[in-house]
Structure 1
C-alpha cells in the first residue's frame, strides 16, 4: 500500500512539474522613462564630471549602459514618434516640430502590447500635437508643458492644473496610476519628463546647488566653424543666442516679470526665485561684463540652471525605482531610461541639439531587466531609439510587425556572439528655429558622412578616431577619395533599406547635375 502511495505521489508531482513547465513565462512589466534634452555629458554613469546622477547610475549598475545609443532625428517630437512606432520620421510622418502632427491611427508598440494583454499608459510630456491613441490611460502636458503649476490634459479633453513642480507632479501621477491599475495584467508605462528642456527652471529646493562650482570651458567653446558652412550659419550659441531674461532669468524688475513661465508661479515660488536670482542680476550689472567674459559668465549660469533642473529628474527616477522595490515589482520589470536626444553643454559654443554631430546625435540610454540583463553590462553596439519598440515587443513575447524598421537589441545583451549594426542612418528635417540646415548621413565605427541641403548645400566628412570633436571637415580632401566613395555606397544602401525617397531623390539630382 505504502509503495503504491509513493508511486502515486511521484506521478502527481511529475505531472504538476510538467504542467508548470508548459505554462508561459510571466510577461515582464515595462517602464520607459523619457527625458527631454538630457545630455550624456551630464550623467555620471557615462563618466561625466559635471554632476552626480545616482539614480540613473543605479539603472546602469543593475543593468546595461549603452555607450553608443543614437537617435534617428535629433529633435523632441520626432524622437517620441520614432520611439512609439519603431519607424524613421519619413515613415511615421512626424518629421519636425514646426509642421508635423502625429497620426495616432498608425500602429505603435503600445497598441501591439495592448493586444498582447498589457495595460498601457503615457504620463507627462507627449509633445506630438494630437491626442494619444491606443493607451488605456494617459494624462499629458499640453505642448512643451510648464515647469511650475503645470496643466495636464485628461482623457476626456479637460485640463487640470496642479500646484507644484512638474517633475515631482509627473512622478506623483505615474505612481497614482500604478496604484490604481488592474494588477492582474502586466503593464507598460511611459513617463515623459519635461526636464531638462529650455528654459532650465530648477525646482525651488535645487536653486543654487551648483553655485560653488566653476565648470571647465569646453576646448572648442570658441569654435570658428572653419570649413563647416552649416555650423557657420546656425543660431544656437551660448554667447549670441541665449537670452538673458528668458533663458538665464536675468530681469531688471523681479516684481513685474511678464514671462509666462513666471506669471503662473504662486507667491511663494516667485519669492524664492527673486531671492535667488536678483542678487545674481545685481552683481552682473555691477560688473558690466563684455565680450568673452560675458560669454563665459552666461556659460556658467546655463550649466548651473541646467544641472539643477537635471537633479530633480534624477531624483524622480529614484522615486520610480523605489516604488517598484516597495511594491515587489522590480524583479519582473524592465526599466529603460532614455533622453529624446543629446544636447550641447557648450561644445562648439552651443546649446540645443539638431546636428548629426555627436553631442546631439548620441543619446543616453540605460536599461535594467533583472535575471535577463547582467548587472554592469557595458554595451558598445550601435543601438538607436528606433530599436526600443521592437525590443519591448520581443521582451514581451509579442510578434514584431514587419514594417517596424528598428531591431531588437535583446540579443546584443544576452548573446556574446550577436552582431549589431555596422552603420547608422540619420535624417534631420527642420529648417526654421536655430537656423540648422536639414541634413542626412551615415555613421560607422570610425567615420561620419553628412549631406546638408536647403539652407546650406554641401558635404562633410569626419574621421572620428583622429577628430572626435568633429572640427575638421575632410570632404574633398586629397587622400580621402576611397573612404568617401565607400561611405557614399553605404549611405545609398541605408537610404534604400529604410526607403527614404526624399534623400534618394536629392542624391539622384546631384548625380544628374
Structure 2
C-alpha cells in the first residue's frame, strides 16, 4: 500500500499529465503484444446477495441467470468492499484508485475534475480507445474518448444524456425514449458497432438501475407478482444488534437512526408508501412494505441482467467474447431489509460488500472463487494491469490480477479493509462512522458528527464475529472474552488510518471527538448517554412540530470558527465564519461571505444544516441539499449580506443529479430593506450553473433567488461579487 507521501508528491508529474489529458495525444504502443478488450459493467446499488451466484436467500428466485454465467465461466469474489458506500464517492474511488479523503469526493457533492480521471487517462496512454456510457455521477465532463452519460442521477424513463460530439459540455444533450437500462445498452451496442477494431477498447457500461425509485420497464411488471420473497432473519427484532450509536441508551434512537422498511423510523420509511392500511400491525406493515420493496428492486435487476445478455451476445457474434475481460460489479451494496434498513451507507455486510465477477477464459479458470479482501481502490490498478499499464504513483490501490488468475492471495496481500462514511445524518439518517473489516471480524466506530463536529449523535462501538455471526446480529464489543480482539482491531484501525492518510487534520473538531471516544472509558460512555438523550429529545421536538430541525444546541466558540450553522434572529441561519481567502471574479471580491440566509419553506431536518461553505465556502465542496425547500408556491431563499454592497455578478450552482429542471424560471431579486424587491434577472433556460452579469454594480443588502410558480427550490451554492458600500 502506498503511503500518503507517495501520492502527495505529484508536482513533478505535471508536464507528463498535461500531455495525457487530451484524447488521442498518445498513439498505441506498437511494441506490446495484443491485449484484451476490457468491459467494465457496473450497476447502481446492486447488492451481492441479489445475485444468484452468491447463494443468498434470494438465489432460489434465480434473479440473475446471465450474471451468474460470469461466475460459471470465470471467478467470483466474496470479499470485495466499498471504502465509502455511497454513489459519488465510490465512483470517484474507482476512477482514481484513491480513498475519498484523498480524491476529495467524500459525499454526494464531491466533484472530480477531468485531470483526475486517472483510470481513463492511463487507459488512453496505454493505447486503448475509451468510452463511458450510462450513469457517471461525477459532475464534471468525463475524460474519455467517447462518452454518453446521464446528468447526475438521471431518469429511469426517456432519459437525457450528455454525449460527446454534440457540442460543449454541459449543453451537449440528447434524449432517448424508453427505459434507461435499455437506452444505455442501445448506446453501448451502437458504440461497439462503430469502434475502431484495430485497437483494443476499454468500455465502462454503467446502469442506473436498480437505484431507488425502482422504476422497471413495463415488460417486467408481472415478474415475481405471485411470489413470496424470502425475508432476512434479521428483518424483525434483534435484541443484541447495534449500539448506543444506532439504538440509543434505551432504544430511544430507534425511531430516528437508519431509515426503515417498517414503521420504525419516524421521518422516512417504506411502510408509509407501501403499507398504508392503519389496521395492519407493525409486523404486518413491515412484511407488506418489504415484499413491495424487493419486487420493485428485483424487477430492475432483471432488466439489468437481460440487457447484459445483449452485450455478451454481440461480443460473441463478433468473435471477441473470449478476448474481452468482462467485469461485473455494483457501485456498492444495498440493505434489502436486513436490520429493518433500506439504502446503503452502512458498514454492515449487505451495504459494505460489492459484487465482483470476472470472465476472461484466456487467463481465468472457470468456476473459481476467492475470499481475498479487495477494496474499490484496487479496481483501477487491476484494470490497468490487464491493459499492460503500470499503476500510477498517486493511486493507493494495488492490482489483484494475480488473484483473479490463480484464485490465491500473494503472501503480502492485505488482510483488512478500511471504511469511512462521511455524510452524517444525510438523507437516510446514518451516523458518520469509520471501521475495519478482516475475514473474521468487523469493528465499527460511530463517531457521530458532521465535518465540523456538530449535529452530534452518540459515539459508540460495535464488534461482530463474522464466522459465528455472519448476519451481524450480536454486538460483542463489551463481551469480556473479546477484549483483546477489540484492542488489536483498534490498533490495526489506527494503523490503517495513518497509512491511508485519513487522520482528520483538515477536520480538527472531528479529530477531537474521535480521540475523546476512542478508548470509550466510563466518562466517555456517560457523555454518549447524554448526547443520545439530547438528540432523541430534539428529534421528538421536531416530530411534534416544535422545532424545524434536530439541530445541535452546542454554543459556538468565541472565535465563531467551529463550522457551526445555527438559526439567528428571525429564522435566519448564520453560516460559520471562514478564514479562507476571498474569491474574486473579474477583479471584484466576493461580498456574500458570512451572509445569513433564510429558506421560505424549509425542507426536511437533514437539509439546510452544516452550510458553512454555501455563500463562498470554507470548504471547496458543494452540499447536495443546500438551500432546499419543500414543494411550495413560489419558494425562495434570501441572503442577508454581512454588509451592504454594490453587486455586479452572482454565481449560482444548480442542483444536479437529474433534478436540474426544478430551477425552471429561477429569478433573482435585490433589495436594500428586504421589503421592496427589484427583479434583476431570470433564467431563460435550465443549466447546471449560471454566472449572472447584472450589467452594473447595484447597491443592495439582500439577495433573493426563487421560483415564479409552485415547485421545489434546490440550489447548491450562491456567491455574489461586487464592492462593499463605503461607510457600511
Q: For 1:433, what is the secondary structure of its paired residue?
A: coil
The structure 2 residue matched to 1:333, chosen from 319, 324, 329, is: 324
After superposition, the CA RMSD in angstroms is 2.2
Aligned length: 454
The aligned counterpart of 1:165 is 179
1:137 and 2:164 correspond: no
Q: CA deviation at 1:288?
A: 5.0
Paired with 2:258 and 2:465, the residues of 1 have a C-alpha distance of 25
Q: CA deviation at 1:350?
A: 1.5
Distance 1:188 1:225, change over 3 A: farther
The aligned counterpart of 1:70 is 81
Paired with 2:482 and 2:373, the residues of 1 have a C-alpha distance of 24
Q: CA deviation at 1:152?
A: 0.9
The aligned counterpart of 1:445 is 439
Q: Deviations over 1:211-267 (max 9, x none)?
A: 11112222111235655233334232111333468x65x9xxxxxxxxxxxxxxxxx
Q: CA deviation at 1:24?
A: 3.0
Q: For 1:399, what is the secondary structure of its paired residue?
A: coil
Q: Deviations over 1:325-349 (max 9, x none)?
A: 1112112111100001111111101
Distance 1:189 1:482, change over 3 A: same
Q: CA deviation at 1:136?
A: 0.3
Q: For 1:480, what is the secondary structure of its paired residue?
A: helix
1:28 and 2:43 correspond: no
Q: CA deviation at 1:112?
A: 0.4
1:103 and 2:113 correspond: yes
Q: CA deviation at 1:501?
A: 2.1
The structure 2 residue matched to 1:490, chosen from 489, 492, 496, is: 492
Q: For 1:152, what is the secondary structure of its paired residue?
A: strand
State whether residues 332 and 369 of structure 1, in contact with CA within 8 Å, keep that contact through their aligned partners in structure 2.
Answer: yes
The aligned counterpart of 1:236 is 259
Paired with 1:317 and 1:75, the residues of 2 have a C-alpha distance of 23
Q: For 2:463, what is the secondary structure of its paired residue?
A: strand
State whether residues 208 and 304 of structure 1, in contact with CA within 8 Å, keep that contact through their aligned partners in structure 2.
Answer: no
Q: CA deviation at 1:480?
A: 2.0
Paired with 2:389 and 2:210, the residues of 1 have a C-alpha distance of 33
State whether residues 261 and 271 of structure 2, in contact with CA within 8 Å, keep that contact through their aligned partners in structure 1.
Answer: no
The aligned counterpart of 2:134 is 124
Paired with 2:504 and 2:37, the residues of 1 have a C-alpha distance of 38
How does 1:424-463 map onto structure 2 within 5 Å?
424-431=417-424, 432-453=426-447, 454=449, 455-463=457-465
Q: Deviations over 1:475-498 (max 9, x none)?
A: 233222211111111111111211
Q: For 2:39, what is the secondary structure of its paired residue?
A: strand
More helix by share: 1
Q: For 1:82, what is the secondary structure of its paired residue?
A: helix
The aligned counterpart of 1:423 is 416
Q: For 1:102, what is the secondary structure of its paired residue?
A: coil
State whether residues 93 and 103 of structure 1, in contact with CA within 8 Å, keep that contact through their aligned partners in structure 2.
Answer: no
1:204 and 2:218 correspond: yes
1:82 and 2:109 correspond: no
Q: CA deviation at 1:414?
A: 2.6
Structure 1, unmatched stretches of 5+, are 1-21, 251-283
TM-score by length of 2: 0.60
State whether residues 225 and 231 of structure 1, in contact with CA within 8 Å, keep that contact through their aligned partners in structure 2.
Answer: no
The structure 2 residue matched to 1:45, chosen from 53, 59, 62, is: 53
1:93 and 2:88 correspond: no
- Runs of at least 4 residues off by over 6 Å: none
Q: For 1:314, what is the secondary structure of its paired residue?
A: helix
Distance 1:299 1:387, change over 3 A: same
1:154 and 2:169 correspond: no
Paired with 2:53 and 2:126, the residues of 1 have a C-alpha distance of 34
Q: For 1:208, what is the secondary structure of its paired residue?
A: coil
State whether residues 74 and 360 of structure 2, in contact with CA within 8 Å, keep that contact through their aligned partners in structure 1.
Answer: yes
The aligned counterpart of 2:711 is none
Q: CA deviation at 1:130?
A: 2.0
Q: CA deviation at 1:147?
A: 1.0
Q: Deviations over 1:390-428 (max 9, x none)?
A: 001111111111221111111112344624321111111
Paired with 2:172 and 2:386, the residues of 1 have a C-alpha distance of 35
Q: For 2:293, what is the secondary structure of its paired residue?
A: helix
How does 1:54-65 map onto structure 2 within 5 Å?
54-65=65-76
Q: For 2:235, what is the secondary structure of its paired residue?
A: coil
The structure 1 residue matched to 2:466, chosen from 458, 464, 470, is: 464
The structure 2 residue matched to 1:181, chosen from 184, 192, 195, is: 195
Q: CA deviation at 1:151?
A: 1.0
Paired with 1:68 and 1:398, the residues of 2 have a C-alpha distance of 25
Q: For 1:188, what is the secondary structure of its paired residue?
A: strand
Paired with 2:287 and 2:405, the residues of 1 have a C-alpha distance of 46
Q: CA deviation at 1:470?
A: 1.5
The aligned counterpart of 1:267 is none
Distance 1:391 1:78, change over 3 A: same
Q: CA deviation at 1:508?
A: 4.3
Which structure has more RCO (C-alpha within 8 Å, separation ≥ 6)? 1
Paired with 1:310 and 1:137, the residues of 2 have a C-alpha distance of 26
Q: CA deviation at 1:69?
A: 1.3
Distance 1:417 1:400, change over 3 A: closer
